[in-house]
Amino acid sequence: MSLHYNPSKAITLRQAKPTNSPLNAVSLTSANKQRICQIVNVFETGQKQGEYHALAVHADGKQGSQQISYGRSQVTEQGHLITLLKLYCDQQGRWGKQLQPYLQQIQRQPLHQDTHFKQYLIKAGKHDPIMRQCQDQLFDRYYWQPAYHWAKREGFKLALSQLVIYDSYIHSGHILAFLRKRFAATTPTQQGNEREWISQYTQTRHAWLSGHSNPLLRTSSYRTLCLQQLITQNNWHLDQLPITAHGVTIN
CA-nearest of 195, 201, 203 to 178 is 201
Q: Is the peptide bond before 22 cis (omega within 30 degrees of 0)?
A: no
Q: Looking at residue 12, what is its pLDDT?
A: 35
24: pLDDT strictly greater than 80 = no
Quote the CA–CA distance of 111 and 203 in Å, as a whole number: 36
Burial (CB < 10 A; 0-12, 13-18, 19+), residue 225, is: middle
Task: Write the pLDDT tens digit of every residue in 112-168.
Answer: 999 999 999 999 999 999 999 999 999 999 999 999 999 999 999 999 999 999 999
Mean pLDDT over 172-186 rounds to: 96
DSSP assigned state of 102: G
Decide: helix, strand or coil at residue 69.
Answer: strand
- Is the CB of residue 226 less than 8 Å from the CB of residue 247? no
Quote the CA–CA distance of 96 and 116 in Å, as a whole number: 13
pLDDT-based confidence at 25, cuts 50/70/90? low
Q: Is 26-250 a domain of CATH 3.30.70.20? A: no
DSSP assigned state of 141: I
Mean pLDDT over 8-15 rounds to: 34
Contacts of 212 (CB under 8 A, 6+ apart): 218
Decide: helix, strand or coil at residue 75.
Answer: strand
